[in-house]
Amino acid sequence: WMYWLTSNGDSQRLRQNFEMVLQDVENALEASGGPFFMGKTITIVDLMFAPFLERMAASLLFFKGYMMRVPKGTKSQCPNLNKWFDAMETLDSYQLTKSDYYTHCWDLPPQLGGCTYEEGGEPYENAINGLRSLDGKQGSWELPLRDGFVSSGEPDWDWAGDENAARREAVERLSFNHEAIVKFAARGAGRKGMPPYMAALADPNAVPNEAVQTGIDSILRVVCMALLEGTDNHDTTMDKLAVTVVKEGGSDYTDGIIASLSYLRERVGVPRDMKLHAARQLRAHLNWAISKVLTAQES
């Protein structure tokens, strides 16, 4: 996996080598009777494999376009491995520690010294990054949110609760630590820290722009209300707030607000900050707010 993920060499050979090892894993699961490596009960073997298999499924899709996990009912080269993932996701302990594809794919490169892209991964890269769903119909972090596989190639977290619960979780996480989150978001309009870090999303020494914090705070309050009550009930409020930002703040201030909201959206980590359903809702609602400010700026 790591050889293929990080190498600029013979990709076809490295893929074949990986698939040979993956088949050994598939065979071991089949021989055990599944769904776990030692049969019907989870053991330390599953715990040892879990962080690696989870990262493989995310990174190989993002960087190589190689899909290990498939939608339920879809034919797969590794059906027993898919059953293993499904079984793991029934465990409360695993649900609490499971990350999402986006978080993995941005965390891995600095840990491994970089990952190499292949053309087949580009649609999945764009989808996982929230830019465009796999069917090309909308952004994958755009309301209304759609099925995970259609949107980004990542399975839906059906076990994580319904979308109303996800929106409430996002609001709870935002409001619980709102002052620190506002200050953190303002780094997007501030100064980069020194020394720089290899991890693209990490900048612990960044200096936030205090001038935009009041505006960020106001927008995040409306985002929270929209999460709880629906964007339709808060479109007018956000439209007015966006116009105020543009008219009273000016061009540089508005750019700083957009940069700060984008900075926050790109750094919502799973499970560090919240579960995937909640993270998708927050990312999409931040995009809703950003689009309102951009529309006001353009007009």
In this predicted structure, the answer to whether residue 245 has a pLDDT above a threshold of 90 is yes
How far is Cα 249 from Cα 273, in angstroms, rounded to an integer? Answer: 31
CB atoms within 10 A of CB 282: 27
CA dihedral 268, 271, 272, 275 (to 10 degrees): 60
pLDDT for position 150: 77
Distance CA 66, CA 279 (A): 24
Residue 196, preceding bond cis, omega within 30 degrees?
no
Q: In this model, does residue 253 exceed pLDDT 90?
A: yes
pLDDT given for residue 281 in this prediction: 96
Instruction: Give me the pLDDT at residue 198, please.
Output: 81
Confidence check: pLDDT of 64 > 80: yes
Predicted confidence band of residue 71 (pLDDT cuts 50, 70, 90): confident
Residue 161 has pLDDT above 80, yes or no: no
Residue given tokens 């989150």 in the structure block: 181
Residue with tokens 């201030």: 253
In this model, does residue 148 exceed pLDDT 80?
A: no
Q: In the block, which residue shows the tokens 């409306």?
A: 222
CB 92 within 8 A of CB 187: no
Provide the pLDDT for residue 151.
82
User: What pLDDT, on a 0 to 100 scale, did the predictor assign at position 156?
Assistant: 77
What percent of the chain has a predicted confidence (pLDDT) above 70? 100
Question: Closest by alpha carbon to 202, among 275, 115, 266?
Answer: 266
| Contacts of 206 by beta carbon, 8 Å cutoff, 6+ apart | 187, 190, 191, 192, 193
State the Cα–Cα distance between residues 179 and 185, nearest whole angstrom: 10
Query: What are the φ and ψ backbone dihedral angles of 147, each rounded to 5 degrees?
Result: -50, 140
* Structure-token pair, residue 128: 């996982």
For 72-101, how does the pLDDT look when each residue is reduced to its tens digit (9 = 90+)?
888 889 999 999 999 999 999 999 899 999
What confidence tier does 159 reach under pLDDT thresholds 50, 70, 90? confident
Q: What is the pLDDT of residues 10-34, one digit of tens each?
A: 899 999 999 999 999 999 999 999 9
Instruction: Tell if the pTM clears 0.85, that is, is over it.
Output: yes
For residue 212, pLDDT beyond 80: yes
Which percentage of the chain shows pLDDT scores above 90?
82
Q: Given pLDDT bands bounded at 50, 70 and 90, which one contains residue 291?
A: very high
**Poorest-pLDDT segment among 136-140, 186-190, 247-251, 260-264:** 136-140
Residue type, position 248, single letter: E
**SS3 state at 207:** strand
- Judge if the upstream peptide bond of residue 271 is cis by omega within 30 degrees of 0: yes
Residue showing tokens 């008219």 = 247
Mean pLDDT of the chain: 94
Residue 252 has pLDDT above 90, yes or no: yes
**191 phi/psi in degrees, rounded to 5:** -110, 140
